[in-house]
Every structure is written in C-alpha cells, then in structure tokens.
Structure 1
Amino acid sequence: MNVCLSNSSSVGGCSEDSFKYFVYSATYLLLFPIALICNGGALVVFILQRSRRSSASCVVMTNLALSDFSFSLTLPLRLHYYFNGRVWNFSDWLCRLYVFCFYVNLYTSILFLTLLSVLRWLAVTRPLRHRALATPTKALLVCLGVWLLVGVASAPFLIQGRICRSGVYRCFDPPTSSLSQTVLIMNYVALLIGFLLPFLTIVLSYSRIVRHLTRRSSLHGAEGPSARLRQCNRRRSIHLVAMVMVTFVVCFLPYHVMRSVHLHATFAGWSCDFTAPLQKVVAVTLCMAASNSGINPVLYYYSTRRFRDNLREARTSLSGRRGSIATAISMNRRRNSPMSP
C-alpha cells in the first residue's frame, strides 16, 4: 500500500512544478543507455588491459568509469518513479540509498577529474616527479580515499528517506521540514570542498600545462618534421585541456551556484514568484550535472592515445577469443562425428 497520511508540504510552500519532473524524465531516459554502454565498455577495456598496461591515470579513469556506471544503474528506478506519477512503490531504505548514490557519483566524479588533471600536470611539467609519485598502487590508495571521503560526507543523505505528500509516498523530493540550517551548512561544505577547491586545482593545473606547452613551442620553433609533429601534439593537448575545462564548467558550475541561490531563497522565505523560476533552473542544472556521467568516456577517449590503443586491443582480443572458441567447437564436432577416423 502506497497510501499514507500526508505530513509534509512542497518546498518553500509553493505548488509543485511539473516542469522539473518532465526535465528529469527526458534527461534520464536519454542518459541511461549512453552512460551504461559507454562506461560499461570503458570498464571492460580497462579490466582486459590492466595486466599489460597499468598506469596511475588508468587506475583513476577506471574508478571514474565505475562511479558513472554505478550511477547509470540507478536511473531505471528513477525513471519508473517519474513515469509512475511520482509515486514511490519501493522501500524507504532504497530511497535513501538512491539519493545517497547521486551525491556520491557527483563528487567522486569531480575529485577523480581533479586527480586526472594533477596527474597530467605532473606528466607534462614534472616528468621525473610524475614517474616517482604516480604509481598504480599510490593512485589506487588515493582513489580509495576519495570513495571513503565522499561516502562519509554523503552519509547524512541516508537519514531522510521517502516522505508522505498528497497521500502517497514520494522520493527525491525534500519536504519543507527537512530544510534546516544543517542543510545550508552541508551545501557550503560541499561547495567549498567538493567543488571550489577541485575547480581551482583544475584551473591552476591546466593553466600551467598550457603555459608550459606554449613556452616550449616558442623555444623550439616549428622547423622540420619532428618540430611540426611536436607542435601538432601541443596544439592537440591545449584543445583537450580546453574541452575538459568547458565540460567541467558546464556540468558542475551552474548546479552548485543555482543550488546555493535556491537554498538561500527558500530559507529567506522569498515569494513563489522568485522561488518557482529558481526551482526550474535548479532542475535544469541538476540534469546538466548528471549528464557528466555520459560525457566522461568521451573525454578520456580523446585525451589519451593509450585508451584508444586499449580499445583496439580489447576488440582484437575479444575477436580472437571468439575465433578460438569457434575453432574449438568445430574441432570437437569433427572429433565426435561418426565419419571421423
């Protein structure tokens, strides 16, 4: 039975807006197959090639793909919820877990992208230090620390589960009673540690990479085939840096800004004329943040030649295994045939 006694109202005392639920449904419906297939394929590539080509960047990208793949597995239940008229048919603990998983994916993705930028900065500007510090074992320990840190910091989201509103159970919809000063404090902690510090780290790392590459380009000139090849590689690296920066800004920056503004508006008791449009914008920026799980595979596909090589080798390996299995089956049939000698 999903009928309950209503004990909460909509956020800020305003009527519920169907726009955000339409945006959520459309975004998750499009994002689910993309994130599932791309990140699942990336995990397969990393796992098949880990024994032959293991590096610190590969370890970090594996964890990033694992985070995004895990998030994609939560989308079908979210879609069921929205297509079911926002009625939660499942248990309370599952609602808590799904809210928890969203924030774990959000901030592990940010921190893993930050770690990749630091590794790239070391590889370009401090190659000797990169060789000493960026080992697969150390990278794995740092990734485990990221999972632990984000998991512990997101634990408060396990406190609030499903709520009763309009006589039915809802999930992913915080009631007014849960909006306390603690929520505002959590928002600013997440804004500072989970976004601003990583963002500044990424900006600093990539700005030094670009400065280093452009300085070396001006010193060596562009004469001869090898010099032109180096200049082409540097130009490509700068383009990739710009792509990562734009992706980070588009996916994460709007959500954190608008979420903070919306929370302040809610606590300050602004009228619905202000909070209702803010709620629409927050819904759009939330979808932009979630879409990062489908964009990340594109980033590390085009950013590393090693991943493309691994993808080709994995495809060749799978083709070879299928060929070996087919040959073994054919030989077994011949061996068991009555006409065989």
Structure 2
Amino acid sequence: MKRKLMSLPPSTSIPEMESNGTFTSNNSNENCTIENFKKDFYPTVYLIIFICGTLGNGFSIYVFLQSYKKSTSVNVFMLNLAISDFLFTSTLPFRADYYLRGSNWIFGDLACRIMSYSMYVNMYSSIYFLTVLSIVRFLATVHPFRHLHVTSTRSAWTLCGIIWFLIMASSVMLLNNGSERNGSVTLCLELNMRKIFKLQTMNYIALVMGFMLPFCMLNICYLLIIRALLKVKIPELGVRVSHKKALTTIIIALIIFLLCFLPYHVLRTLHLLEWEVGVCRDKLHKAVVITLALAAANTCLNPLLYYFAGENFKDRLRATLRKDHLQKTKCSIPVCIWLKKETQV
C-alpha cells in the first residue's frame, strides 16, 4: 500500500499509523496498551520468521540454482518468489530491534526508508508470483499445446521482470517514509494520519489491484482445474501427475492467501475506516499487528510449495544432498590416507 509521509514537528500530538496499519499516539499512551503489546509480540515473531524464512528460502534458492535437467517456467517463478522472500526476511532483525528499543530507530534514515518499501514489495510480489504460478500450472495442464509460448522459460523470465518492475515502481512512494526525531527517540515505520482520505484511497487501490484481483483469478483457476479433473475419467499417468501438481499448487497458494494475506487486508481496511482522532481501539489495533505478522509469515510457507509442487524439486534436493555428501567424503579421503601413513611410521 502506497502512502506518503508528511513532515510534522516532534511536538505535534496526533495519532500516527505505522506502515503496518497500527495506530499509536506518541505523546499519550495512558489508555492504549498497543505499544507494550508490539514490544512483546513483534520481536519474538519476527525473529522466528527470520530464522525459518532465511533457512527455507536460502536453501530453496540454492537447490533451484543447481543444474538438474532442464529448467521450467514453474521453477523460474518459484525461484523469483524465493528471492523476494529471502530479501525481505533479511530486514526482519532490524524491525525486531526497533520494537525491542520501544520504537526507537538507530540504523539511519536510508535503512528506515527501505523497511516499509521491502515489506510491501515482498507482499505484493509474492501475491502476483503465486497467482501467475497457479495460472501457468493451469494452462500447462488443461491446454498444454495451445499455450506453449506462455509456459516457456523465456516468457517466465520476462513476466517475472514485469512483475518486479510494476511492484517496485508502484511502491516507490514508500521510500519517502524516512526516520523522524520525536524527543529522545527516532521514529521509523510511522505515518501520520492528517490525510486520512488519501490513505483510504490508496488502501482501496492496493486492496483491489494488489489482493482482490489476484485472489479472484486464483479461485477461477481452482474451479477450472477441478472441472478439468472431473471431465477426465481415467487419465494417463503423465496427465494424472500434471493434474495433481497443478491442483497442489493452487491449493497451497489459496491456503497462503487465506491465512496470510486476507486477514491483513480486511483488518487494515477496517482499521482505516474505523479510525478517529484520540480514540484507541485496543482490540482492533492488536488484531492488525497479529495479521501483519501473518502476512510476513508467508515467507515460511512458500518453501512448502516448492517441495510439494515444484518441478523436479525433490529430485534436485536429493541430487544436491548427494553431491554435498560425496564432496565431503572425497575431502576426507586424503586425510585418511595421511593418517594411515603416519600410524605406519
């Protein structure tokens, strides 16, 4: 979601909204416990997501880059999805540190600008990579020969480039959201709420174009692949495997949408509609915080998609592990020979 930061004097006392959609009041938290909740909740959750997401996506990228047979368009989309997740998880320790310090940013203005930007670039690039991946799976299964040009690796790389460009360009306004001094602390991830109408408008655009449109396309693919499966009475083995992978891809993508992205977009929209100056809705604020963490957790679920629905991913994984094991064994052979000679002497 694109939002523009307005510079205000540190003494200005108005509620603010973080880039995650959570409202706080910098000068008065007497009736609002959201700051304490964020300090307890975010660091723990972000560090867990960081460990799981970095390991899962880092290893997935390594496996995808290993040469095993011919690369496919499916693996191209999955590789780009893993890269997006890996880049985002690398920013999570900085977010955790910010909340551990009681919303005090120490890493400089440039790093602050990158935080909000990376969050939304990852979220919407993930949404579109998952959607395009499901569409390609569907086309390759239902119309394998009619859409060969769409499912080629060259088309996949071109489409990935277009997705990266559009998402990064549409989120570029978030780079305006730098750090801001407020008394003894430096704020980051905070947006003031003077132009609530503009924020609501931008939220609707992000909601429709960034979430609802891809979600509808995903559901259409699901219904069409079910219809295709019901038509085929006794499919051949190759067709059966293709249908199974397509269905698995779409189901996992739907689970990620429903669990990670849907709650956040619903509550973020509700939060913007319900917001009033000087009013602290604790339960709604906390719910938005939790749903933002769920949105970030999509980086931990995507490796499951690679494993269960990736083209030759299991074979690549086994080949990679076997190769690493052989390399370790070969490295230890000279040592063994040297040790034998030393014992004989």
TM-score of the pair, normalised by structure 1? 0.85
| Aligned pairs for 1:161-240 within 5 A | 161-165=178-182, 167-177=184-194, 179-216=195-232, 219-220=233-234, 238=247
| Aligned pairs for 1:77-226 within 5 A | 77-165=94-182, 167-177=184-194, 179-216=195-232, 219-220=233-234
Indicate which of 295, 311, 314 corresponds to 1:308. 314
Q: Give the AA of the match of 1:89.
A: I
Query: Does the 8 Å contact 1:8/1:165 carry over to 2?
Result: no
User: In the superposition, relative to structure 1, how do residues 8 and 309 fare at CA in structure 2: closer, same or farther (>3 Å)?
Assistant: farther
| Aligned pairs for 1:56-67 within 5 A | 56-67=73-84
Is 2:299 aligned against 1:293? yes
Question: Take 1:309 and 1:65, find their aligned partners in 2: how far apart are those partners?
Answer: 18
Question: Take 1:70 and 1:189, find their aligned partners in 2: how far apart are those partners?
Answer: 25
Find the counterpart in structure 2 of residue 39 from structure 1: 57
Indicate which of 47, 58, 79 corresponds to 1:29. 47
Q: Give the AA of the match of 2:234.
A: H
Query: Does the 8 Å contact 1:251/1:292 carry over to 2?
Result: yes
Paired positions, count: 324
Find the counterpart in structure 2 of residue 258 from structure 1: 267
Question: Take 1:63 and 1:155, find their aligned partners in 2: how far apart are those partners?
Answer: 20
SS at the partner of 1:142?
A: helix
Query: Does the 8 Å contact 1:104/1:150 carry over to 2?
Result: yes
SS at the partner of 2:181?
A: strand
Greater shift after overlay, 241-250 or 143-152?
Answer: 241-250
User: In the superposition, relative to structure 1, how do residues 328 and 127 fare at CA in structure 2: closer, same or farther (>3 Å)?
Assistant: farther
User: In the superposition, relative to structure 1, how do residues 220 and 295 fare at CA in structure 2: closer, same or farther (>3 Å)?
Assistant: same
1:172 deviation in Å?
1.5
Task: Could you tell me which runs of 5 or more consecutive residues in structure 2 were left unpaired when the two chains were aligned.
Answer: 1-8, 17-22
Question: Take 2:184 and 2:15, find their aligned partners in 1: how far apart are those partners?
Answer: 13
User: In the superposition, relative to structure 1, how do residues 121 and 53 fare at CA in structure 2: closer, same or farther (>3 Å)?
Assistant: same
Find the counterpart in structure 2 of residue 320 from structure 1: 326
Q: Give the AA of the match of 2:60.
A: A
Is 2:22 aligned against 1:10? no
1:327 deviation in Å?
4.1
1:208 deviation in Å?
0.6
Q: CA RMSD in A?
A: 3.0
Question: Take 2:43 and 2:301, find their aligned partners in 1: how far apart are those partners?
Answer: 19
Find the counterpart in structure 2 of residue 247 from structure 1: 256
User: In the superposition, relative to structure 1, how do residues 237 and 47 fare at CA in structure 2: closer, same or farther (>3 Å)?
Assistant: closer
User: In the superposition, relative to structure 1, how do residues 290 and 168 fare at CA in structure 2: closer, same or farther (>3 Å)?
Assistant: same
Between the aligned residues of both structures, percent identity stands at 32
Task: Could you tell me which runs of 5 or more consecutive residues in structure 1 were left unpaired when the two chains were aligned.
Answer: none
Q: Give the AA of the match of 1:74.
A: T
Q: Give the AA of the match of 2:80.
A: N
